[in-house]
Structure 1
Amino acid sequence: MTKTKGLTTFDLKIIGIIFMFINHVHQMFYWTNVPEWMEWCGRPVATLFFFVSVIGFTHTRNKSKYLGRLLIGSWVMTLGTMLVTHFFSIGDMALQNNIFNDLFLGVLAMYGIDKLNQFRQTKNLSTLLLGLFCLIFPVLSYFVILSLITVVPINMARFLFLIPSGMTAENGMMIYLMPLMYLAKNKKAIQMLFIALASLFFLTRDPSAFMTTNTQWMMIFSLIPIFFFNGQKGRSMKSFFYVFYPAHIWILFIISAIIYQHFG
């Protein structure tokens, strides 16, 4: 069998995982003065995973189940991080990593687009309302948590973060890049344009901090592997990421916390 030229979905995931790991080593061991370029490696990662999620959602047979897996992943990540940070700490560092939260919100918005398209055919009001709700949920949940967090007892407030929202999303409202790319799911050039425009937004938002605190513009480098994407799935790694993502973050954090306790 002749191997298709270019990068498959599997290849994109592996590239993302490698650069994500380098970035998280920087994050967990920042106190050892690890080089800044390690942090830069993480800037294209979320965009790459957003692109892969658009591909995955487009081709999955059961979109509700796809959403459910991401929601469970978000809950597991939140509760697991609460447990890990209860026993371990690195100075005043807050461990807030949860890409599942971002992916769930983006996929939910894509689900909303599907429902709006369905409404155009059925004219069913409940379908319209569901579609709109899914689209605005990241913003709606942001304000719900914001209003509740000041009135809920402090020992219970942390559990509000089990609700995926724009407030707890690692990439904030950049999660809407996913539904934008979904609208252009069969036009990779337009998807790449959306990424480039988002990168330009971050670059121009604070140009004085170019290459210092403003590094999110480096998401544009995700265009390199995306350009070479050949539209093929490649090898399956359906469950690997769901295990690897939380496991490597918790392990790196625990190792760093133990070293920090003795030498920090």
Structure 2
Amino acid sequence: MSATMLKFIMAFIMVLDHIEFFISPELAAFFHLISRPVAPVFAYLAIEGFIHTRNQKKYISRLYLAAFAMILGNFIINNFVLMDPGFFVRNNIFLSLALGTTSLYIYEEYFKNQKLLGLLLIFLVLIVSLSSEGGIFLVPFMLICYINRDNTKKRNIILIMITAFLAYGSYGYLMEMNIESTIILLGFGADSLFFIAGIPFMYLYNGKRGLSNQFTKYFFYVFYPLHLWIIHIIAAFNIIG
């Protein structure tokens, strides 16, 4: 499966995760659970983009530009359109992807020859990622996948071990809960699955870009913020229902 096809599939699944305003908590939790592969797949494809781009600095700069454009867009939508914190758009995966690819660049440029400086710079990126959407998971995930890109078995073992550590004890009392509460807990507590959720799709990826034109190149940059703004505006003004 090409990168373009994977992006379109993940975009559709991503929408399901963001329509929680209009559906029951149980269904919202279920959609949240099945959408766990979205961020790691986009992160994995960002790694592929970083590896194959002719200009890594330009590639990273484009992600930062998209991130800052969305920060500005969120500010305008939140403060001049929505004006209700309950409906504010706080998502910005572009910033997390930009920080992730920055960590890859640091690894290549500094860590191999200046380990102490490289570690310090990557640590600073991790600190900054605490304030970005899923960044505390996404940046380490990208580093693990990039460093072990030629050893998928080792990569998978590391990702599974991290997932087991994060999930340990999280669901120990599920058997004592009713089915509705169990679904909600599994759904909204599924972030611990982040590190392994994308593995099956990594194997579906055939290493090819797929259809490549201006539309496919910039589709996600436009679709991602636009669909969030539209959903939140519809919810805030009760346009549906």
Give the TM interval when normalised to the shorter protein: 0.7 to 0.9
Q: Identity of paired residues, percent?
A: 27
SS in 2 for 1:230: coil
Cα distance in 2 for partners of 1:138, 1:205 equals 29
CA contact (8 A) 1:203 1:217 kept: yes
What's the counterpart of residue 193 of structure 1?
Answer: 157
Cα distance in 1 for partners of 2:7, 2:141 equals 18
What's the counterpart of residue 152 of structure 1?
Answer: none
What's the counterpart of residue 183 of structure 1?
Answer: 147
Cα distance in 1 for partners of 2:44, 2:100 equals 11
CA contact (8 A) 2:88 2:232 kept: no
> Shift in Å at residue 48 of structure 1?
1.0
| Aligned CA distance change for structure 1 residues 88 and 94 (closer, same or farther; 3 Å) | closer
| Deviations 1:141-187 (CA, angstroms, capped at 9, x unpaired) | x4xxxxxxxxxxxxxxxxxxxxxx22322114112110111101223
CA contact (8 A) 1:177 1:194 kept: no
Task: State the TM-score, normalizing by the size of structure 2.
Answer: 0.81
Aligned pair 1:250/2:229, yes or no?
yes
Select the structure that is richer in helix.
2
What's the counterpart of residue 111 of structure 1?
Answer: 105
Match for 2:136: what amino acid? M
Gaps of 5+ in 1: 1-6, 143-164
What's the counterpart of residue 179 of structure 2?
Answer: none
What's the counterpart of residue 40 of structure 1?
Answer: 33
SS in 1 for 2:237: helix
Cα distance in 2 for partners of 1:14, 1:191 equals 25
Aligned pair 1:169/2:144, yes or no?
no
> Shift in Å at residue 90 of structure 1?
5.3
Question: How many aligned residue pairs are there?
Answer: 223
| Aligned CA distance change for structure 1 residues 65 and 91 (closer, same or farther; 3 Å) | closer
Task: State the TM-score, normalizing by the size of structure 1.
Answer: 0.74
Match for 1:199: what amino acid? T
Aligned pair 1:217/2:192, yes or no?
yes
Aligned pair 1:259/2:238, yes or no?
yes
Match for 1:235: what amino acid? L
Match for 1:196: what amino acid? I
